[in-house]
Amino acid sequence: MESINKISMLHPQISIIRISILFLTAFQFHSCTIDNPVENFPEQYKGTQAQVIFEKDSAFENNLFEEINEHLISINQPPLTINPEANQVAFEHTKHLIETNSLHHQNFSERQNYFYSLGFTAMRENVAMGYDNSYDLIQAWLQSLNHQQAIESNSTHTGISVLKNESGVYFITQIYLK
């Protein structure tokens, strides 16, 4: 142990590299789900003043939509239909995730109330970052009970947004409505 400490003291960059690798490995892939608001969220997004740079990935969105529907059909649930309003709301939320460079469900109650005003009776939401393809993302979501329950919630409609930030990190929001 003493020799490791001597190496770390003589070569501090080794420790920094090790810590950086550990941090990047631990936080490379994240996802989160919510089906009920757990706190009072502010009424408005509190975005930064800086311009957010992102790139929309329509192919990823289409693959996610198709693969989620394939999964639903495989478990005898009807496929989802794209809802244009849900796509727009998912897009706005994903932009906010990029602005804050984090995963969260801030303003979930506002999104939920908006869809209730359109006649939907339930809303769930999955978010993720760091996944660069729909297959890996869906596999991760299906391994998480909360994410799986959102996917398999007998919803009828969905909205999907996949955006890549200027560093190449993907941020994803999928909304499930019934």
Distance CA 47, CA 96 (A): 7
Instruction: Give the contacts of 141 (CB within 8 A, at least 6 positions apart).
Output: 31, 33, 126, 128, 147, 148, 150, 151
Confidence of residue 50 (pLDDT cuts 50, 70, 90): low
Q: What is the mean pLDDT of residues 144-157?
A: 97
Given the structure tokens 């490379």, which residue do they identify? 28
Q: What is the mean pLDDT of residues 130-154?
A: 97
pLDDT of 130 above 90:
yes
Residue 52: per-residue pLDDT: 75
pLDDT of 128 above 90:
yes
For 27-45, the pLDDT digits (tens) are 344 445 444 333 333 333 3
Q: Ramachandran region of residue 96, left (φ > 0), alpha (ψ -120 to 50) or beta?
A: alpha
CA–CA distance from 135 to each of 76, 103, 131, 141, 172 (Å)?
A: 20, 20, 9, 10, 13
Residue 160: per-residue pLDDT: 98
CA–CA distance from 8 to each of 2, 20, 38, 149 (Å)?
A: 10, 14, 44, 46
Q: Is 126 exposed, middle or buried (0-12, 13-18, 19+ CB in 10 A)?
A: buried
